[in-house]
């Protein structure tokens, strides 16, 4: 299960800003993304791709389709028209 939450890092401890659907002592894996003061996350193409891939983790067929499509497009020569 993947949950996307915001948390505050305070004195070496992450404190969630909302409730979590986890039992006590549950071990989790964290990916840290710093949020700007205005609440917006930094947005680069690579970060956006990582978010999309994370959201598609439960859709392996769709991930395969996307990867195949990207590979196909990379193998085609770039056509620039005047």
- Residues 26-69: pLDDT tens digits? 998 888 877 766 656 555 666 767 777 777 777 778 777 877 87
Alpha-helix residue ranges (DSSP H) falling in 4-76: 45-55, 60-75
Q: How far apart are CA 49 and CA 42, in angstroms?
A: 13
Q: Is the pLDDT of residue 13 over 80?
A: yes
Q: Is the pLDDT of residue 5 over 60?
A: yes
What pLDDT does residue 67 have?
77
More confident residue, 41 or 24: 24
Give the CB-side neighbour count of residue 28, counting CA atoms within 13 A. 16
What pLDDT does residue 79 have?
62
Q: Which residues pair with 15 in a beta bridge?
A: 8
């Amino acid at each position: 299960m993947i949950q996307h939450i915001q948390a505050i890092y305070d004195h070496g401890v992450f404190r969630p800003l909302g409730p979590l659907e986890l039992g006590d002592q549950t071990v989790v894996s964290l990916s840290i993304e710093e949020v700007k003061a205005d609440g917006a996350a930094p947005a680069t193409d690579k970060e956006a791709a990582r978010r999309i891939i994370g959201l598609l983790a439960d859709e392996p067929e769709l991930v395969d389709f996307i990867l195949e499509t990207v590979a196909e497009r990379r193998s085609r020569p770039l056509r620039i028209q005047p």
